[in-house]
Amino acid sequence: MEEAFYVLFPVACLIFRREQVLLLPLLCLIIAGPINRTLLADQDPWGDYAYLSCMDGVAFGCIAALACVRQRLSRRTLRIALVLGATVTSLVIVLCNEDTHSGLSRFGLNVTVLEAGIALMLLAFGSGVGNGALSRGTHWLRVIGHSSYEIYLFHMLVVLGLMGLFKWIQPPTTMIAVWYVEMLLLSVFLGYTVSASYSEPLNRRLRSPHR
């Protein structure tokens, strides 16, 4: 899905050109998401992993990014968006069972509500809410969060490599927790390395007015 987005989103921007017009296909994806999840609910895994079942999440993210750049909301409004988004997201995670196909899940809306809650949180965080109230000792956690996409993209290289080694060595079950921690730390290290040495330098270069 990420590859499809990377290929098609620049093309969509070239076709629609204006952000106001770009909102139309994004809204269409948000509408299509729950419909597609409902139609494919019994066709595992396509109910959750088909393109149109997932692209509404990308659309919510795009809208949140546009709102961060174009809208100047008050700090109070942004804090309300953060609290509301966190509350909605938590309720969906705790209360909704997508396997039962009942309630919101029956209409594929549980994922939509979850995505909307996360979009509200992204809007608040992307606009700077929380920057002035960071707890001491959390810098390492924020660094991991900043590199989270690279960790997500490259962690399978670590997982597959260590799984092959694990099967070959066949360590005792008492060592499984140690292997898991090693896998987690190596995934974080690899993602951070890619972010610091490639993603961020390239991002700064692309956004530089003097490039």
Three-state SS sequence of 179-190 = HHHHHHHHHHHH
Neighbours of 92 (CB within 10 A): 22
State residue 7's pLDDT score: 86
Q: Give me the half-sphere count of Cα atoms (radius 13 Å) on the Cβ side of residue 166.
A: 16
Structure tokens, 169: 């060595």
> Half-sphere exposure of 12 toward its Cβ, with a 13 Å CA cutoff?
17
- Hey, what amino acid is at 173? T
Tens digit of each residue's pLDDT, the chain (211 residues): 777 888 888 888 889 888 889 899 999 999 998 888 888 777 766 666 778 888 899 999 999 999 988 888 888 999 999 999 999 999 988 887 766 666 677 777 888 999 999 999 999 988 888 766 656 677 788 888 889 989 998 999 999 888 888 888 888 888 888 888 999 999 999 999 999 999 999 988 888 776 5
Degrees, nearest 5: CA angle 155-160-162:
95
E strands, the chain, in order? none
Angle, helix 109-126 to helix 19-39, in steps of 10 degrees: 150
